[in-house]
Amino acid sequence: MNGLNISSDKLDMLGKISVMAENLTGAFSLRVDGSPYAKGSSANVTISAKKDLPGIDIRVKDGTVGEKIHIPVILTQSGIKDLVYNDFYIGENCDIEIVAGCGIHNHGHEDSAHDGIHSFHIGRNSRVFYSEKHYGENSPESGKNIMNPTTIIDIAEGGYMEMDTVQIQGVDNTIRTTKGKLGDNATLKITERIMTDGDQYAETRFEVDLDGEDSGTHVISRSVARDNSKQLYISNVNGNRKCSGHTECDAIIMDNASVSAVPKISANSTDASLIHEAAIGKIAGEQLIKLMTLGLTEKEAEDKIINGFIS
């Protein structure tokens, strides 16, 4: 038995969202089936339960470098509706990594849902790398897996945040919302990868306000829609000072799926430099043919192209 005294099915789910039990040491918080399960702090990172809302406050001391914080969530019971508020207060001159993720194992007849609202307050000249993986598994007759992550980001002067989010299996319905406000010389880079199949629905909403002088953002969405699934991508970048912004949506569409992209950029300063790109299409026939000449079946060739596209 591992040090967390956690069951084998929950251990398996932890592994699916790229968090192994042995890594949950130092500063971490594990939430299971709608309740806090275990948490720990370190010399530079304090994690405490909120007094008025479900969730935690994570406080990182000035000058903290090299810390990794894990905050996984697992749902293994059908019918749970979990709502959690996590606030991150990152001091000045920090360089840290935060690993989040939610896994739902739903084999009952009721829907299971997790709504995570994460707010980041990033201090001057601090760097944060944040990764988040969403994964679900169920059977055809079971209820839906629903995940609605909301991320709110405020970056002070000279700060940097990089987000890497992945949803590649088993999430039936999701609305993903990210909002950012950037100060002088602050940077926000966001990369998301999404795959939907069956009758799944995925909606992504990005809104970034470039309020600071020489602030910048780079938003990239790569997605694959298969079967009868539907995707909607909405982005809105507001350039309010001298700044730079780029938003990019690339999607592969297959079978009877549908994808809509609504990129928007607003320049509210003559010194704002903003670009948006969107491309939706099927896998090119010549790509399939080239791989099939190497001995792959059409299905194997499709899978290889898709895995390379969203990796």
**Amino acid 22: pLDDT:** 66
**Amino acid 1: pLDDT:** 33
SS (H, E, C) the chain: CCCCCCCHHHHHHHHHCCCCHHHCCCCEEEEECCEEEEEECCCCEEEEECCCCCEEEEEECCCCEEEEEEEEEEECCCCCEEEEEEEEEECCCCEEEEEEEEEEEECCCCCEEEEEEEEEEECCCCEEEEEEEEEEEECCCCCCEEECCEEEEEECCCCEEEEEEEEEECCCEEEEEEEEEECCCCEEEEEEEEEECCCCEEEEEEEEEECCCCEEEEEEEEEEECCCCEEEEEEEEEECCCEEEEEEEEEEECCCCEEEEEEEEEECCCCEEEEEEEEEECCCHHHHHHHHCCCCCHHHHHHHHHHHHHC
Read off the tokens for 170: 């088993």
pLDDT band at residue 305 under the 50/70/90 scheme: confident
pLDDT, tens digit (0-9, with 9 covering 90-100), for 90-115? 999 999 999 999 999 888 999 999 99
The number of beta carbons lying within 10 Å of the beta carbon of residue 295 is: 8
CA dist., res. 210 & res. 158, Å (int): 13
Q: Taking the model in full, what pTM does it have?
A: 0.92
pLDDT, tens digit (0-9, with 9 covering 90-100), for 42-65? 999 999 999 999 999 999 999 999
**Amino acid 226: pLDDT:** 94
pLDDT, tens digit (0-9, with 9 covering 90-100), for 281-299? 988 778 778 878 888 888 8
pLDDT, tens digit (0-9, with 9 covering 90-100), for 70-95? 999 999 999 999 999 999 999 999 99
pLDDT band at residue 14 under the 50/70/90 scheme: confident
Tokens 């026939």 belong to residue: 285
Contact status, residue 116 vs residue 130, Cβ threshold 8 Å: no
Please indicate whether residue 23 or residue 162 has the higher confidence score (pLDDT). 162
Q: Which of 277, 225, 275, 228 is nearest to 251 (CA)?
A: 225
CA dist., res. 162 & res. 220, Å (int): 11
- State yes or no: pLDDT of 24 exceeds 90: no
Q: Average pLDDT of 242-270?
A: 95
- State yes or no: pLDDT of 306 exceeds 70: yes
Please indicate whether residue 4 or residue 48 has the higher confidence score (pLDDT). 48
- State yes or no: pLDDT of 3 exceeds 60: no
- State yes or no: pLDDT of 267 exceeds 70: yes
pLDDT band at residue 183 under the 50/70/90 scheme: very high
Pick from 138-147, 258-267, 284-293 the range whose average pLDDT is largest: 258-267
- State yes or no: pLDDT of 245 exceeds 90: yes
Percentage, residues of the chain above pLDDT 90: 77
